[in-house]
Amino acid sequence: MFTQPAPTLEPDFATTRPNRETLRRAYLLMRTADELARLYEENKAVTARYVHATARGHEAIQLAAAFHLTPHDYAAPYYRDDALLLGLGVAPYELMLQLMAKRDDPFSGGRTYYSHPSLRRPGQPTIPHQSSATGMQAIPATGVAHGIKYLEGQGLAPKGSGTPAATPPVPPVVLCSIGDGAMTEGEVAEALQMAVLHQLPIIYLVQDNDWGISATSREMRAMDAYEFAAGFKGLQRLQFDGADFLASYAGMQQATEYVRLRHGPVLVHAKCPLLGHHTSGVRREWYRGDNLAQHTLQDPLPRFHQQLLELGFEEADLEELGRQARATVLADYERALAAPNPDPATFADHEFAPPAVTEETGERSPTGADKALMVDAALHAVDDILREFPEALFYGQDVGGELGGVFREAALLAKKYGDARVFNTPIQEAYIVGSTAGMSAVGAKAIVEIQFADYIWPGLNQLVEELSKSCYLSNGKFPVQSLIRVPVGAYGGGGPYHSGSVESTLLTIRGIKVVYPSNAADMKGLLRAAFLDPNPVVLLEHKGLYWSKVPGTEDAKTVEPAAGYAIPLGKAAVAQEADATKLRNGETCVVITYGMGVHWAKTASKQFPGQVEVLDLRTLNPLDWEAVQAAVRRHGKALVLTEEPLLNSFAESLAGRIQRHCFRQLDAPVFTLGAANLPAIALNVELEKQMLPSPEKVAAALQELLGY
């Protein structure tokens, strides 16, 4: 938690100077970055087929930052950081493979933009996958730092660059690189808040060139990043000329040493000129005017060249380094042009990492076990996980401390496992969700909670951009292990901000799994499988089933499975069978549903003894399509039941799919039933009843379907 920070950092550029070999390497790589930008512009008909940006003007600060990172550190570059990548040891050829979307692009296999790296290999800092880095990357990067601090506190080593976890020789740091324009994003403020609240080992490197795309700093901000950071108590600040390599090297050394000593987070504000295009698709000549000539006066390359001459380097030696850089870039360009493109047959690879649980394991109904409420089964499942896996932690709003969640679903866990493992967060849904991507990258396994489904919307940006795409766009290197618990559903007058159902929105997001249990046993088994799954999983938990207080939900209370019980995701279950004789006589139907719908259907089916099978989907993605088809073909009549507003819902989509693939086996149209197509659940309980499905409404639909 928050500790009193050390005295404010003051830049001292006279005390630190890189050795001669470092200076030589810096000049070679600065020339290499310059040659890359020059070659891309000279060959823009080829290189601008896909969009890219270059480091021109930012090379000094980027190389200085890279030179202070070790293979045990972590980096979150932004899209202009190709010089930083060169400094970390990435070859120009590798950058060009990504530029041209080639098969052997080491970051994504041709799937994402230039200078959008993800890297896990020995000898270089780990670069977790992130989005296009316009502010959103601050949260996952801070999650990396948060995970490092957590693991250090548990005596565990972070998972580094593709090698077995081992204690690093120096404490690792996280470098989050960002443009000043992106500092106005609200998610950046969430990241900074958590960094100072928990005093995390992270450097926020802000490269400020006074431009967005065509918007100037005067239009975009009331203060620069250095001034903005002053409002975050406990965040140390350092400001210097990012176009001066010597000043940048000294400043970054101070910042990294401060963070390695675990004094807390640092924000570095480095002013840089923008000498290239914002991106290849937005030409500088369209809007820069005289500004480009002004920025050229601050070009770091001639400035560094002159500094090296003053330090005793020979002009001929520097020119030779320039020739080496150009020769390397030209040769690598020809190699990259000839490199193979991705095999189109691999286009769908790595949507998900392989699941950890592939079959039901453990005891579902132990002898002598008592029945448990669904909320208690969830609590016990998390308790079992925290006891068994020291890398596991649980956080969200109000889940720590005394309360243990507004539904008491984490009761006493903070007291049992400590505030480092079970803790409260600020009201920051984006951080709660997005930080799990960073946690996963270092081997920490986060269980997090969104207090109500209606509050999940601020977290969707992180869920979509950072979590869901990570496995696919990193070519399988960085699946995100993340379990996000979300209480959902309406009952008893919860009103418009505590009653929402959100599964249809979530199911439009590829790359995440969505699970929805209907009873205590399934809750315990699915929660464990979701935790063990190496992919992002959203676990939807209906509040009306937690305590089985809603009439007709008594079956949600079941015998509690033993510790370690797990159900594979993507497997439906028959919650109620139809009578075999009535099935043979063609007198039956199936209700395909999940969550509260299971209990509405079972209650309604009492009016049609033996005629109704209830198929509980349990997992909405991946969907057990085989079980759905088998049930529909078994009965010939189907009702798809949901609590969501019906129009354009998952239920309607599933009904259409059934109609398409099971048409010849159907004896009636596929029926659907859901909530009224309204934007929110009304507070008044009578209005709520009118809007929602109910056993009576389900019974009316079954009457019509069975009589069709």
Question: Which is it for strands 619-621 and 74-76: parallel, antiparallel or unpaired?
Answer: unpaired
DSSP 184: G
């592939």: which residue's tokens? 358
Q: Label residue 649 by pLDDT band (50, 70, 90).
A: very high
108 contacts: CB under 8 Å, gap ≥ 6: 98, 116, 118, 473, 474, 475
Q: Label residue 78 by pLDDT band (50, 70, 90).
A: very high
Q: Label residue 12 by pLDDT band (50, 70, 90).
A: low
Element containing residue 266 per DSSP (H, E): strand 266-271
Closest residue by Cα to residue 625 from 652, 598, 592 = 592
User: Do the beta carbons of residue 560 and residue 372 sit within 8 Å?
Assistant: yes
Q: Cα(237)–Cα(266) distance, rounded to whole angstroms?
A: 6
- 266-323 pLDDT, tens per residue? 999 999 999 888 887 777 777 777 888 788 888 999 999 999 999 999 999 999 999 9
Q: Cα(485)–Cα(453) distance, rounded to whole angstroms?
A: 9
DSSP 391: T
DSSP 322: H
pLDDT above 60: residue 470 = yes
Average confidence (pLDDT) over 476-494: 95
Q: Cα(426)–Cα(232) distance, rounded to whole angstroms?
A: 14
Count other Cβ atoms within 10 Å, centred on residue 170.
Answer: 12
Comparing 28-37, 218-227, 613-622, the range with the smallest average pLDDT is 218-227
pLDDT above 80: residue 215 = no
Instruction: Pick the catalytic residue from 52, 269, 305, 498.
Output: 498
Predicted pLDDT of residue 678: 95
Predicted pLDDT of residue 1: 32
The Cα-based distances of 27 to 1, 19, 329, 332, 699 in angstroms read 42, 13, 15, 19, 77
DSSP 339: S
Residue-wise DSSP of 536-581 = EEEEEEEHHHHS--STT-GGGSEEPPPTT-B--TT--EEEEPPPHH
Average confidence (pLDDT) over 549-557: 94
Strands across the sheet containing 513-515: 422-424, 392-396, 445-449, 482-488, 536-542, 513-515, 619-621
Predicted pLDDT of residue 292: 80
Predicted pLDDT of residue 4: 39
Predicted pLDDT of residue 3: 36
pLDDT above 50: residue 338 = yes
Predicted pLDDT of residue 277: 81
Q: Is 498 a catalytic residue?
A: yes
Predicted pLDDT of residue 211: 76
Average confidence (pLDDT) over 589-613: 98
Average confidence (pLDDT) over 206-211: 88
CA dihedral 572, 578, 582, 587 (to 10 degrees): -70
176 contacts: CB under 8 Å, gap ≥ 6: 76, 137, 138, 141, 142, 191, 202, 203, 204, 205
């002598």: which residue's tokens? 368
Predicted pLDDT of residue 90: 97
User: Do the beta carbons of residue 619 and residue 526 sit within 8 Å?
Assistant: yes
Q: Cα(308)–Cα(286) distance, rounded to whole angstroms?
A: 35
pLDDT above 50: residue 352 = yes
Looking at every residue in the chain, the average pLDDT score rounds to 93
Map out the domains of the chain with their CATH numbers: 22-162+173-339 (3.40.50.970), 371-559 (3.40.50.970), 573-707 (3.40.50.920)
Predicted pLDDT of residue 506: 97
Residues above pLDDT 70, as percent of the chain: 96
Closest residue by Cα to residue 589 from 604, 573, 568 = 604
Q: Cα(513)–Cα(414) distance, rounded to whole angstroms?
A: 27
What's at 429, amino acid-wise?
Answer: E
285 contacts: CB under 8 Å, gap ≥ 6: none
Predicted pLDDT of residue 349: 96
């976890």: which residue's tokens? 165
Predicted pLDDT of residue 622: 98
Coil/strand/helix, residue 160 = coil
- 389-413 pLDDT, tens per residue? 999 999 998 887 777 666 766 678 8
Q: Cα(59)–Cα(231) distance, rounded to whole angstroms?
A: 29
Q: Cα(597)–Cα(539) distance, rounded to whole angstroms?
A: 16
Closest residue by Cα to residue 571 from 365, 379, 428, 364 = 364
Predicted pLDDT of residue 681: 93
Comparing 171-185, 217-231, 251-265, 330-344, the range with the smallest average pLDDT is 217-231
- 359-374 pLDDT, tens per residue? 999 999 999 999 999 9
The Cα-based distances of 358 to 355, 511, 520, 571, 621 in angstroms read 7, 18, 20, 10, 15
Count other Cβ atoms within 10 Å, centred on residue 530.
Answer: 29
Residue-wise DSSP of 572-637 = -EEEEPPPHHHHHTT--EEEEE-THHHHHHHHHGGGSTT-EEEEE--EEETT-HHHHHHHHHHHS-
457 contacts: CB under 8 Å, gap ≥ 6: 429
Distance of CA 465 to the CA centre of its chain: 7
Comparing 188-197, 211-220, 447-456, the range with the smallest average pLDDT is 211-220
Output 523 or 49, whichever has higher pLDDT. Answer: 523
Residues pairing with 673 in the sheet: 641
Predicted pLDDT of residue 14: 53
Residue-wise DSSP of 80-124 = T-HHHHHHHT--HHHHHHHHTT-TT-TTTSS-S-TT---B--TTS
Q: Cα(119)–Cα(116) distance, rounded to whole angstroms?
A: 10
The Cα-based distances of 560 to 198, 368, 520, 606 in angstroms read 37, 10, 7, 26
pLDDT above 60: residue 435 = yes
pLDDT above 70: residue 44 = yes
Q: Label residue 452 by pLDDT band (50, 70, 90).
A: confident
Q: Label residue 520 by pLDDT band (50, 70, 90).
A: very high
Distance of CA 554 to the CA centre of its chain: 37
Predicted pLDDT of residue 409: 67
Question: Which is it for strands 558-559 and 371-372: parallel, antiparallel or unpaired?
Answer: antiparallel
Predicted pLDDT of residue 11: 56
Question: Which is it for strands 392-396 and 266-271: parallel, antiparallel or unpaired?
Answer: unpaired
Residues pairing with 267 in the sheet: 204, 237
User: Do the beta carbons of residue 689 and residue 493 sit within 8 Å?
Assistant: no
Residue-wise DSSP of 28-84 = HHHHHHHHHHHHHHHTHHHHTTS-----TTTHHHHHHHHHT--TT-EEE--TT-HHH
What's at 567, amino acid-wise?
Answer: I
Residue 247 backbone class (left: φ over 0; alpha: ψ -120 to 50; beta: rest): alpha
Average confidence (pLDDT) over 623-651: 97
pLDDT above 50: residue 439 = yes
Predicted pLDDT of residue 280: 79
pLDDT above 60: residue 219 = yes
Predicted pLDDT of residue 592: 98
Average confidence (pLDDT) over 105-131: 95
Predicted pLDDT of residue 175: 98
What's at 210, amino acid-wise?
Answer: D
